[in-house]
Amino acid sequence: MTFPPVLTNTISRVLFALPLAVFGLLHFMNAQGMSMMVPGFIPGGIFWVYLTGIALLAAAVAIIVNRRFGRLAALLLGVLLLSFALTIHLPGVMNPDTMAASLPNLLKDTALAGGAFAFAGILKE
pLDDT, tens only, 72-114:
999 999 999 999 999 989 999 999 999 999 999 999 999 999 9
Task: Please check whether residue 59 is in contact with residue 76, taking contact to mean a CB–CB distance below 8 angstroms.
Answer: yes
**Crossing angle for the helix pair 99-122 and 5-29, to the nearest 10 degrees:** 140
pLDDT at 61: 96
pLDDT, tens only, 20-51:
999 999 999 999 999 988 888 888 889 999 99
Give the burial class of 32: count Cβ atoms within 10 A of its Cβ; 0-12 exposed, 13-18 middle, 19 or more buried.
exposed
